[in-house]
Amino acid sequence: MHPFLYKATPAELAFISGLDYGQDKEKHYAELSELVFARNGQFKEGEFWFPLEVVELGANSIKPGHEREFVICCLLVLSAIGSGHCFAHDRESKYSAIEPLLYQLSDEQATILLEAYAA
């Protein structure tokens, strides 16, 4: 798991959990918390909807003031791609989608993502 994910806060995970218009927010939060804090960002067999749905939504765009949440989601999407849990993207297509957004991040956050996608 990328070290940045260890710094995720409950408030950030709560924000991510509500990205599907608040639908099933509590279930997404419970699964997302377990994914980050108990399973080191490793998706488990059959885990496609909770919390992957909100993670993918969070990696699609940057909400002003929630840049850290975007980085968290992008790192988790990379984990999902690597473990075969994300069928909608591969590393290259996902990077192409976020590349135009990198200027909205701090230099540190952009570097984290650039290095993660290059790994």
- pLDDT at position 49: 85
Rounded-to-integer distance, Cα 36 and Cα 30, Å:
10
First and final C-alpha spacing in the chain? 12
Whole-angstrom Cα distance, residue 31 to residue 38?
10
Please report the pLDDT score of residue 87 as a whole number.
67
Mind giving me the DSSP string for 46-108? T-SSTTHHHHHHHTT-PPTT-HHHHHHHHHHHHHHHHTT---S--HHHHHHHHGGGGGGS-HH
Averaged pLDDT, 73-92: 85
pLDDT classification of 84: cutoffs 50, 70, 90: confident
Q: How many residues can be counted in the chain? A: 119
**Confidence check: pLDDT of 51 > 90:** yes
Angle at CA of residue 43, ends 28 and 96, nearest 5°: 90
Which pLDDT score, from 0 to 100, does residue 34 have?
A: 96
pLDDT on residue 46: 75
This prediction has a pTM of: 0.94
